[in-house]
Copies of this chain bind each other. A is one copy, B any other.
Amino acid sequence: MDSTLNVAIVGATGAVGEEFRNILGHRQFPIGKIKMLASERSAGKSVQFNGKPHTVELLTEDSFKGVDLALFSASGSISKQYAPIASDAGATVVDNSSAFRMTDGIPLVVPEVNPEAVAGITLGHGGIIANPNCSTIIMLVPVTPLHRVVSVRRMVVSTYQAASGAGAAAMAELRQQTEQILAGLPPTCDKFPQQYAFNLFCHNSPIDDRGYNTEEMKMVRETHKIWSDSSVRITAICVRVPVMRAHAESINLEFNQPMGRVQALQILRDAPGVSVVDDWKNNRFPTPLDASEKDDILVGRIRDDISRNGEDVSGLDLFVCGDQLRKGAALNAVQIAELLL
Protein backbone atom coordinates (compact mmCIF):
# COMPACT_ATOMS: atom_id res chain seq x y z
CA MET A 1 0.00 0.00 0.00
CA ASP A 2 1.09 3.55 -0.78
CA SER A 3 1.89 5.76 2.23
CA THR A 4 -1.12 7.88 1.31
CA LEU A 5 -4.69 6.76 0.76
CA ASN A 6 -7.26 7.77 -1.79
CA VAL A 7 -10.52 8.72 -0.14
CA ALA A 8 -14.02 9.16 -1.53
CA ILE A 9 -16.88 10.88 0.28
CA VAL A 10 -20.32 9.75 -0.86
CA GLY A 11 -22.85 12.41 0.02
CA ALA A 12 -20.21 15.14 0.12
CA THR A 13 -22.70 18.03 0.13
CA GLY A 14 -24.88 16.85 3.04
CA ALA A 15 -24.62 17.85 6.68
CA VAL A 16 -22.51 14.79 7.52
CA GLY A 17 -20.56 15.16 4.26
CA GLU A 18 -19.58 18.67 5.27
CA GLU A 19 -18.42 17.32 8.62
CA PHE A 20 -16.40 14.57 6.89
CA ARG A 21 -14.56 17.32 4.98
CA ASN A 22 -13.95 19.37 8.15
CA ILE A 23 -12.72 16.41 10.18
CA LEU A 24 -10.50 14.90 7.49
CA GLY A 25 -8.99 18.33 6.99
CA HIS A 26 -8.13 18.74 10.64
CA ARG A 27 -6.86 15.25 11.50
CA GLN A 28 -3.62 13.69 10.34
CA PHE A 29 -5.32 11.24 8.02
CA PRO A 30 -2.82 10.44 5.22
CA ILE A 31 -4.94 11.48 2.26
CA GLY A 32 -3.63 11.13 -1.26
CA LYS A 33 -6.43 12.01 -3.65
CA ILE A 34 -9.90 12.90 -2.41
CA LYS A 35 -13.05 12.50 -4.45
CA MET A 36 -16.34 14.22 -3.66
CA LEU A 37 -19.34 12.19 -4.80
CA ALA A 38 -23.06 12.91 -4.79
CA SER A 39 -26.27 12.35 -6.69
CA GLU A 40 -27.30 14.22 -9.85
CA ARG A 41 -28.88 16.94 -7.75
CA SER A 42 -25.51 17.97 -6.30
CA ALA A 43 -23.01 16.83 -8.96
CA GLY A 44 -21.14 19.77 -10.47
CA LYS A 45 -21.36 21.85 -7.28
CA SER A 46 -18.16 23.03 -5.65
CA VAL A 47 -17.32 22.14 -2.03
CA GLN A 48 -14.37 23.17 0.11
CA PHE A 49 -11.73 20.81 1.45
CA ASN A 50 -8.55 22.03 3.15
CA GLY A 51 -9.28 25.52 1.91
CA LYS A 52 -9.55 24.52 -1.74
CA PRO A 53 -12.59 24.06 -3.96
CA HIS A 54 -13.40 20.55 -5.18
CA THR A 55 -15.99 19.81 -7.83
CA VAL A 56 -18.56 17.24 -6.79
CA GLU A 57 -18.65 14.27 -9.16
CA LEU A 58 -21.67 12.18 -9.99
CA LEU A 59 -21.77 8.89 -8.07
CA THR A 60 -21.62 5.97 -10.55
CA GLU A 61 -20.58 2.33 -10.52
CA ASP A 62 -17.16 3.43 -11.78
CA SER A 63 -16.54 5.98 -9.01
CA PHE A 64 -14.44 3.72 -6.78
CA LYS A 65 -11.50 2.70 -9.00
CA GLY A 66 -8.31 3.37 -7.06
CA VAL A 67 -10.20 4.43 -3.94
CA ASP A 68 -8.88 2.97 -0.66
CA LEU A 69 -11.50 4.38 1.73
CA ALA A 70 -15.08 5.31 0.88
CA LEU A 71 -17.01 7.22 3.52
CA PHE A 72 -20.73 6.91 2.81
CA SER A 73 -23.34 9.26 4.20
CA ALA A 74 -26.18 9.34 1.76
CA SER A 75 -29.44 7.39 2.04
CA GLY A 76 -29.74 3.77 3.09
CA SER A 77 -30.75 2.86 -0.46
CA ILE A 78 -27.65 4.52 -1.94
CA SER A 79 -25.51 2.56 0.52
CA LYS A 80 -27.29 -0.69 -0.31
CA GLN A 81 -26.65 -0.14 -4.00
CA TYR A 82 -23.14 1.32 -4.05
CA ALA A 83 -21.32 0.08 -0.93
CA PRO A 84 -20.95 -3.48 -2.31
CA ILE A 85 -19.76 -2.01 -5.64
CA ALA A 86 -17.19 0.12 -3.83
CA SER A 87 -16.04 -2.86 -1.78
CA ASP A 88 -15.73 -5.05 -4.87
CA ALA A 89 -13.60 -2.31 -6.48
CA GLY A 90 -11.22 -2.53 -3.50
CA ALA A 91 -12.43 0.42 -1.45
CA THR A 92 -13.02 -0.20 2.23
CA VAL A 93 -16.41 1.32 3.05
CA VAL A 94 -17.38 2.98 6.30
CA ASP A 95 -21.11 3.45 5.98
CA ASN A 96 -23.07 5.95 8.04
CA SER A 97 -26.50 4.68 6.94
CA SER A 98 -28.54 2.00 8.66
CA ALA A 99 -28.34 -0.28 5.59
CA PHE A 100 -25.80 -2.79 6.92
CA ARG A 101 -25.76 -2.16 10.66
CA MET A 102 -27.62 -5.29 11.63
CA THR A 103 -26.21 -7.48 8.82
CA ASP A 104 -24.37 -10.54 10.11
CA GLY A 105 -20.68 -10.34 9.34
CA ILE A 106 -20.65 -6.53 8.97
CA PRO A 107 -18.86 -4.97 11.97
CA LEU A 108 -20.80 -2.22 13.77
CA VAL A 109 -18.16 -0.14 15.48
CA VAL A 110 -17.60 2.56 18.06
CA PRO A 111 -13.78 2.77 18.25
CA GLU A 112 -13.75 3.41 22.02
CA VAL A 113 -16.06 0.42 22.56
CA ASN A 114 -15.35 -2.46 20.18
CA PRO A 115 -12.27 -1.71 18.03
CA GLU A 116 -11.57 -5.45 17.87
CA ALA A 117 -14.56 -5.82 15.54
CA VAL A 118 -12.59 -4.47 12.56
CA ALA A 119 -9.92 -7.18 12.79
CA GLY A 120 -9.02 -8.57 9.40
CA ILE A 121 -10.12 -5.52 7.41
CA THR A 122 -7.41 -3.53 5.61
CA LEU A 123 -7.91 -0.22 3.82
CA GLY A 124 -7.80 -0.64 0.07
CA HIS A 125 -8.81 -4.28 0.20
CA GLY A 126 -12.59 -3.91 0.29
CA GLY A 127 -14.98 -4.65 3.12
CA ILE A 128 -17.87 -2.76 4.69
CA ILE A 129 -17.99 -1.45 8.25
CA ALA A 130 -21.14 0.14 9.62
CA ASN A 131 -21.23 3.33 11.68
CA PRO A 132 -23.89 3.08 14.41
CA ASN A 133 -26.86 5.38 14.85
CA CYS A 134 -25.93 8.73 16.41
CA SER A 135 -28.03 8.20 19.55
CA THR A 136 -26.45 4.80 20.10
CA ILE A 137 -22.90 6.14 19.77
CA ILE A 138 -23.55 9.09 22.09
CA MET A 139 -24.98 6.72 24.71
CA LEU A 140 -22.36 3.99 24.46
CA VAL A 141 -19.21 6.15 24.64
CA PRO A 142 -19.90 7.04 28.32
CA VAL A 143 -21.93 3.96 29.34
CA THR A 144 -19.52 1.29 28.08
CA PRO A 145 -16.61 2.11 30.43
CA LEU A 146 -19.03 1.69 33.35
CA HIS A 147 -20.40 -1.52 31.85
CA ARG A 148 -16.87 -2.92 31.56
CA VAL A 149 -16.44 -2.56 35.33
CA VAL A 150 -19.91 -3.58 36.48
CA SER A 151 -22.35 -5.06 33.97
CA VAL A 152 -25.33 -2.89 33.09
CA ARG A 153 -28.51 -4.85 33.64
CA ARG A 154 -31.08 -2.39 32.31
CA MET A 155 -31.19 1.10 30.75
CA VAL A 156 -34.07 3.59 30.52
CA VAL A 157 -33.23 6.33 28.03
CA SER A 158 -35.04 9.49 26.98
CA THR A 159 -33.44 11.46 24.15
CA TYR A 160 -33.48 15.14 23.26
CA GLN A 161 -32.42 14.99 19.60
CA ALA A 162 -31.23 17.83 17.39
CA ALA A 163 -32.38 18.77 13.90
CA SER A 164 -29.11 17.65 12.27
CA GLY A 165 -30.10 14.01 12.74
CA ALA A 166 -32.59 14.52 9.93
CA GLY A 167 -30.03 16.30 7.73
CA ALA A 168 -29.26 19.78 6.49
CA ALA A 169 -32.81 20.28 5.19
CA ALA A 170 -34.21 19.71 8.70
CA MET A 171 -31.79 22.26 10.17
CA ALA A 172 -32.84 24.76 7.51
CA GLU A 173 -36.51 24.05 8.20
CA LEU A 174 -36.07 24.62 11.94
CA ARG A 175 -34.43 27.95 11.20
CA GLN A 176 -37.03 28.98 8.63
CA GLN A 177 -39.96 28.00 10.89
CA THR A 178 -38.44 29.93 13.78
CA GLU A 179 -38.13 33.04 11.60
CA GLN A 180 -41.70 32.62 10.40
CA ILE A 181 -43.15 32.24 13.90
CA LEU A 182 -41.25 35.25 15.21
CA ALA A 183 -42.67 37.20 12.27
CA GLY A 184 -46.19 36.01 13.09
CA LEU A 185 -46.40 33.83 9.98
CA PRO A 186 -47.56 30.20 9.76
CA PRO A 187 -44.58 27.81 9.75
CA THR A 188 -43.73 25.85 6.59
CA CYS A 189 -43.72 22.11 7.41
CA ASP A 190 -41.99 20.21 4.59
CA LYS A 191 -39.42 17.97 6.23
CA PHE A 192 -41.58 17.06 9.23
CA PRO A 193 -45.37 16.82 9.32
CA GLN A 194 -45.65 19.08 12.36
CA GLN A 195 -44.23 22.33 13.67
CA TYR A 196 -40.69 21.91 14.98
CA ALA A 197 -39.81 25.48 16.07
CA PHE A 198 -40.67 26.13 19.75
CA ASN A 199 -42.09 22.60 19.86
CA LEU A 200 -40.90 19.00 20.19
CA PHE A 201 -42.23 15.67 19.01
CA CYS A 202 -41.51 11.97 19.21
CA HIS A 203 -39.08 10.77 16.55
CA ASN A 204 -40.91 10.53 13.23
CA SER A 205 -39.70 7.04 12.27
CA PRO A 206 -42.27 4.24 11.85
CA ILE A 207 -43.76 2.62 14.98
CA ASP A 208 -43.55 -1.16 15.27
CA ASP A 209 -46.24 -3.46 16.63
CA ARG A 210 -44.99 -3.00 20.19
CA GLY A 211 -45.13 0.80 20.02
CA TYR A 212 -41.40 1.44 19.55
CA ASN A 213 -40.20 3.58 16.65
CA THR A 214 -37.25 2.60 14.45
CA GLU A 215 -34.87 5.06 16.12
CA GLU A 216 -35.65 3.59 19.55
CA MET A 217 -35.14 0.01 18.36
CA LYS A 218 -31.82 1.02 16.77
CA MET A 219 -30.63 2.01 20.25
CA VAL A 220 -31.70 -1.39 21.61
CA ARG A 221 -30.47 -3.66 18.80
CA GLU A 222 -27.26 -1.80 17.96
CA THR A 223 -26.24 -1.81 21.63
CA HIS A 224 -26.78 -5.57 21.74
CA LYS A 225 -24.62 -6.04 18.64
CA ILE A 226 -21.84 -3.62 19.66
CA TRP A 227 -21.63 -5.10 23.16
CA SER A 228 -22.03 -8.67 21.79
CA ASP A 229 -24.59 -9.10 24.56
CA SER A 230 -28.32 -9.32 23.98
CA SER A 231 -29.09 -9.74 27.65
CA VAL A 232 -28.94 -6.04 28.56
CA ARG A 233 -32.47 -4.70 28.88
CA ILE A 234 -33.17 -1.34 27.20
CA THR A 235 -36.19 0.88 26.77
CA ALA A 236 -35.84 4.20 24.96
CA ILE A 237 -38.06 7.06 23.97
CA CYS A 238 -36.63 9.27 21.21
CA VAL A 239 -37.76 12.87 20.97
CA ARG A 240 -36.77 15.66 18.58
CA VAL A 241 -36.19 19.02 20.23
CA PRO A 242 -35.60 22.38 18.50
CA VAL A 243 -31.81 22.32 18.83
CA MET A 244 -29.45 22.41 15.85
CA ARG A 245 -26.68 19.83 16.02
CA ALA A 246 -26.08 18.06 19.33
CA HIS A 247 -28.20 15.40 20.99
CA ALA A 248 -28.85 15.09 24.72
CA GLU A 249 -29.86 11.89 26.50
CA SER A 250 -31.17 11.20 29.98
CA ILE A 251 -29.94 7.74 30.94
CA ASN A 252 -31.04 5.72 33.96
CA LEU A 253 -28.82 2.70 34.53
CA GLU A 254 -29.31 -0.42 36.63
CA PHE A 255 -26.39 -2.60 37.62
CA ASN A 256 -26.43 -6.03 39.19
CA GLN A 257 -23.48 -5.16 41.40
CA PRO A 258 -22.78 -1.92 43.26
CA MET A 259 -21.84 1.07 41.07
CA GLY A 260 -22.01 4.45 42.76
CA ARG A 261 -21.27 8.05 41.86
CA VAL A 262 -17.73 8.04 43.23
CA GLN A 263 -16.65 5.03 41.21
CA ALA A 264 -18.53 6.19 38.12
CA LEU A 265 -16.87 9.62 38.26
CA GLN A 266 -13.45 8.01 38.45
CA ILE A 267 -14.17 5.73 35.50
CA LEU A 268 -15.68 8.50 33.38
CA ARG A 269 -12.82 10.93 34.02
CA ASP A 270 -10.44 8.34 32.59
CA ALA A 271 -12.69 7.23 29.75
CA PRO A 272 -11.60 7.94 26.16
CA GLY A 273 -13.86 10.32 24.24
CA VAL A 274 -15.63 11.50 27.40
CA SER A 275 -15.52 14.86 29.21
CA VAL A 276 -17.13 15.11 32.62
CA VAL A 277 -19.17 18.33 33.13
CA ASP A 278 -20.73 17.90 36.55
CA ASP A 279 -20.48 21.06 38.63
CA TRP A 280 -23.15 20.72 41.33
CA LYS A 281 -22.29 24.01 43.02
CA ASN A 282 -22.60 26.19 39.95
CA ASN A 283 -25.29 24.08 38.30
CA ARG A 284 -23.24 23.47 35.16
CA PHE A 285 -23.94 20.29 33.28
CA PRO A 286 -23.74 19.19 29.66
CA THR A 287 -25.72 21.21 27.10
CA PRO A 288 -26.09 20.62 23.36
CA LEU A 289 -24.51 24.01 22.71
CA ASP A 290 -21.41 23.16 24.75
CA ALA A 291 -21.16 19.79 22.98
CA SER A 292 -21.49 21.32 19.51
CA GLU A 293 -18.38 21.07 17.36
CA LYS A 294 -16.63 19.13 20.13
CA ASP A 295 -15.25 15.63 19.69
CA ASP A 296 -16.00 14.39 23.20
CA ILE A 297 -19.30 13.27 24.66
CA LEU A 298 -20.09 15.46 27.68
CA VAL A 299 -21.46 13.65 30.72
CA GLY A 300 -22.93 15.00 33.94
CA ARG A 301 -25.74 14.62 36.48
CA ILE A 302 -23.74 11.61 37.64
CA ARG A 303 -25.58 10.54 40.76
CA ASP A 304 -26.84 7.55 42.66
CA ASP A 305 -30.47 6.91 41.75
CA ILE A 306 -32.41 7.61 44.95
CA SER A 307 -35.24 5.36 43.78
CA ARG A 308 -32.86 2.42 44.31
CA ASN A 309 -31.96 3.24 47.93
CA GLY A 310 -31.94 0.08 50.01
CA GLU A 311 -32.49 -2.23 47.04
CA ASP A 312 -30.38 -5.07 45.65
CA VAL A 313 -30.13 -3.33 42.30
CA SER A 314 -27.70 -0.42 42.05
CA GLY A 315 -28.90 2.63 40.10
CA LEU A 316 -27.10 5.52 38.45
CA ASP A 317 -28.36 8.54 36.50
CA LEU A 318 -26.45 10.28 33.70
CA PHE A 319 -27.19 13.21 31.40
CA VAL A 320 -25.07 13.25 28.25
CA CYS A 321 -24.66 15.51 25.23
CA GLY A 322 -22.78 14.82 22.02
CA ASP A 323 -22.39 16.46 18.64
CA GLN A 324 -24.66 14.48 16.35
CA LEU A 325 -22.72 15.35 13.19
CA ARG A 326 -19.32 14.79 14.71
CA LYS A 327 -19.06 11.86 17.17
CA GLY A 328 -22.61 10.83 16.27
CA ALA A 329 -21.64 10.47 12.62
CA ALA A 330 -18.57 11.76 10.74
CA LEU A 331 -15.96 11.65 13.50
CA ASN A 332 -16.85 8.11 14.53
CA ALA A 333 -16.59 6.99 10.89
CA VAL A 334 -13.18 8.65 10.45
CA GLN A 335 -12.00 7.11 13.74
CA ILE A 336 -13.05 3.71 12.39
CA ALA A 337 -10.90 4.37 9.31
CA GLU A 338 -8.02 5.41 11.59
CA LEU A 339 -8.28 2.04 13.36
CA LEU A 340 -7.43 0.46 10.01
CA LEU A 341 -4.28 2.51 9.35
Q: Residues on A close to B: CB < 8 A?
A: 154-156, 158, 160, 175, 178-179, 182, 193-195, 198-202, 204-207, 210-213, 220, 233-235, 237, 239, 241-244, 248, 250, 252, 261, 280-281, 283, 285, 287-289, 300-309, 315, 317, 319
Contacts and interface: CB of A to CB of B under 8 A. Distances in A.
Total copies of this chain within the assembly: 2
Contacts of A309: 233
B233 A239 contact: no
Given A211-B303, A212-B303, A289-B195, A242 B243 contact: yes
A17 to B, nearest CB: 22
Identify the interface centre among A198, A202, A242: most chain B CB within 10 Å of its CB: A198
A315 B175 contact: no
Given A154-B307, A242-B243, A283-B207, A289 B235 contact: no
Contacts of A306: 210, 212, 220, 233-235
B198 A289 contact: yes
Nearest to A202: B285
Contacts of A182: 175, 178-179, 182
Given A200-B288, A288-B199, A306-B220, A248 B252 contact: no
Contact of A239 (B160, B204, B213, B280): B160
A301 B194 CA distance: 17
Contacts of A195: 287, 289
A147 B317 CA distance: 24
Contacts of A158: 158, 250
A198 B179 CA distance: 13
Nearest to A174: B198
27 contacts: A154-B307, A156-B156, A156-B307, A158-B158, A178-B178, A178-B182, A193-B283, A195-B287, A199-B243, A199-B288, A200-B248, A202-B285, A202-B300, A207-B280, A207-B283, A211-B301, A211-B304, A212-B303, A233-B307, A233-B309, A235-B306, A235-B317, A237-B319, A239-B248, A239-B319, A241-B242, A252-B252
